[in-house]
Amino acid sequence: AQEAEELRAKEAEEAQKAKETEELRAKEAEEAKKAKEAEEAHQAEELRKAEEAKQAEEEAKRHAQEAEKALAEEKARKKAEVEQAKRAEEARRRAEQMKRAEEERKETEEEAKRAETLRQEELALKKQAEEQAKLEEARKAQEEQPEAPASDGDSDEGISAADAIVI
């Protein structure tokens, strides 16, 4: 009976572990889903902003054209002319803001490209310096090896091991 009770307790513990594992998997799946939804929402927001910028630019052009037309056709209606000019100016101001934001974005991208170029150049210089250091070590090692004395042809002194074998 005690063994059966221990077996039931062990099975209950394993079932609890399996349940916790399943809950953890479900939680991870939910977090992955939320992350994907957040990314999709971010992309949708970027598209919306781009569309707004495009619409603002078109609106600015349209307002500017309307203002010019109103000035040419309705000189007698000064109040309408002033109001139209105000709307056109506001649209141009918004378009300028959008244009500045786009320029700042481009500058940021260019800075990132320049930073990457500098990083690549630094890596290349580092690699070059390492190769130079290896060449310098090899040169020093070669200089540190004693040179064989010049042979006058009369003695075995200064004959290399390879030459001695030939002799």
pLDDT tens, 96-132?
999 999 999 999 999 999 999 999 999 999 999 999 9
Average the pLDDT over 39-52 and give the result: 95
Mean pLDDT rounded to a whole number for the chain: 85
**Interacting residues of 99 by C-beta distance below 8 A, sequence separation 6+:** 57
Token code pair at residue 25: 């998997």
Sign of the Cα pseudo-torsion (102, 107, 110, 112, in order): negative
pLDDT at 147: 59
Judge if pTM exceeds 0.75: no
Average the pLDDT over 130-152 and give the result: 79
Side chain identity, residue 30:
E
Percent of all residues in the chain with a pLDDT value above 70, rounded to a whole number: 84
Please measure the distance between the N-terminal and C-terminal CA atoms of the chain and give it in whole angstroms: 96
145 or 131: which leads in pLDDT: 131
Average the pLDDT over 151-156 and give the result: 50
Average the pLDDT over 51-56 and give the result: 94
Token code pair at residue 39: 């990314």
Nearest to 159 by CA among 57, 47, 167: 167
How far from chain centre, in Å, is Cα 88? Answer: 39
**Interacting residues of 49 by C-beta distance below 8 A, sequence separation 6+:** none
Quick check: 77 pLDDT over 90?
A: no
